[in-house]
Amino acid sequence: MITKRHLLFNLALILLPWITVLFLQKKHFKRFSLAGVCTIVLELMYQVIGQKRNWWVFYDKPKSFVKDVLPFAIGPYMPLSMWLLRLSYGNFKKFLVLNIIADGLFAFPGIKFLKKIKIANLNRLSSIQFFFYLFHKAFILYGMQYLVERNRRTRTKGE
């Protein structure tokens, strides 16, 4: 059974990041959405693995992928990915710095906050391991966007 606290947290986790997408220009949404979708798919695969290996634990019982893990994948990942690409694509160092900041905020104070409000906590990962779990996906995201951009340039040159 999901508690009211967990339900409100999940709603905020999903809605707040997506509201910020309204401030992205349409051209930027189109430009970065494919890489954002790939981020969600990748994150869902990682979360299935993480849940099976007990990398984290959710306090509400019974365990449920939909109420526990899915909101983290469909909530912040795609909007944050699109914003990070919007703010820094073309400047890889800036992209890495922004990812270090975002991933560090989630891996360290974010996890402490989730534990404090009794939503979730790390189980078989330390905070630093969790940080690298988050951070390594930045390289995949940037590479995916690079491939999208290269494909776009190739198609426009051919027309």
Domain positions in the chain: 4-18+27-158
CA distance 153 to 133: 32
The pLDDT score that the predictor gives to residue 158 is 64
User: pTM of the predicted model, to two decimals?
Assistant: 0.90
The pLDDT score that the predictor gives to residue 60 is 87
The pLDDT score that the predictor gives to residue 159 is 63
75 to 27, 39, 106, 126, 149: CA distances (angstroms): 21, 12, 14, 23, 25
CA distance 124 to 144: 29
CA distance 68 to 112: 17
SS3 content of the chain, % helix, strand, coil (to 5): 80, 5, 15
pLDDT tens, residue order, the chain (159 aa)? 788 999 999 999 999 999 999 999 999 999 999 999 998 999 999 999 998 999 999 998 888 888 998 999 899 999 999 999 999 999 999 999 999 999 999 999 999 999 999 999 999 999 999 999 999 999 999 999 999 999 988 887 766
The pLDDT score that the predictor gives to residue 155 is 81
The pLDDT score that the predictor gives to residue 92 is 97
